[in-house]
Amino acid sequence: MSSLRIIDIAVNLTDGMFKGIYHGRQCHVADIPAVLSRAWTAGVDRIIVTGGSLEESREALAISETDGRLFCTVGVHPTRCKEFEESGDSERHFQALLSLAKEGIEKGKVVAVGECGLDYDRLHFCPAETQQKYFEKQFELAEAVKLPMFLHMRAAGEDFCEIVARNKDRFTGGVAHSFTGSAEDRDRLLAFDSMFIGINGCSLKTSENLEVLRGIPIERMMIETDSPYCEIRNTHAGMKFVKSVWSAKKKEKYESDSPVKGRNEPCYVKQVLEVEYLSKILYHNTSRVFFPQDLDTAGDSLLESGAISENN
């Protein structure tokens, strides 16, 4: 067992790939227990399972109840915001989300509202106006349950930050996860005192990406996999910093004790950490937002000693 302590803030365990389904075809057995076993061995301490719709949030809560180290979010992803209106009663749909969030909080499992935000790269799934309307609506959810927000911003920096600014007093903090934006996007996010930025393999593709990341203060950063997507690939600029590797098998030659080639999974968050390299501080950042009742005392000491600023 690794001596590292890592929190992966974004794992899509509800995705079909973790059930062995790829492009609608069953390629191997469902293998969440094997995936989690590799994660714990790699030093992952906790995982936040992402909810991206009402139904997916229900499934994320059910999955999180299977292990004390799993937690989840409740919310609706920007590309799926049409579900509010397609439900036939958008307010009743919102109330169902609220009830689910309250249930999950009582169980000690729901730690954030989300995944919500804006995604202008995929307007074919949901128009911008609908995304904006129900992104703003989910601040009402965060205010009602007093939870931080797990946020999605893709090619929509200006509108995203305008909506956050209007609602900044309605939520306790949050993370803009899977960040792939420009230096301007980075600085807009950092202008909000309670906003963190989540980094994964998609954030590490190019030398330009790495240069943008260097401008994020380490005390405002978190790490994630966003698995089964966003792995660090051999062609990515960040790969040169990676030390940990796993022998992966093609899905057609599946073996339970090996990762599936081309499918990201939470054990690989260790690779993201190797690119960013400051494990205690990143662990503390995540605990501050999502697990404030259990702050890492080592991280507190680092913050108080000023070690963070020395590493920037």
- Say if residue 121 carries a ligand binding annotation: no
130-135: long-range pairs with CB below 8 Å, 24+: 130/81, 130/82, 130/84, 130/85, 131/78, 131/79, 131/81, 132/159, 132/163, 133/81, 134/76, 134/78, 134/81, 134/84, 134/90, 135/78, 135/81, 135/160, 135/163
**Distance of alpha carbon 106 from its chain centroid, rounded?**
22
- Say if residue 226 carries a ligand binding annotation: yes
Residue of 109, 132, 116 lying closest to 76 (CA atoms): 116
- Please provide the DSSP assignment of 102-137 as one string: HHHHHTT-EEEEEEEEEEGGGTTTS-HHHHHHHHHH
Residue of 110, 176, 175 lying closest to 144 (CA atoms): 110
- Say if residue 185 carries a ligand binding annotation: no
Q: Mark the binding-site residues for a divalent metal cation, compressed into ranges.
A: 115, 152, 177, 226
Q: Mark the binding-site residues, compressed into ranges.
A: 115, 152, 177, 226
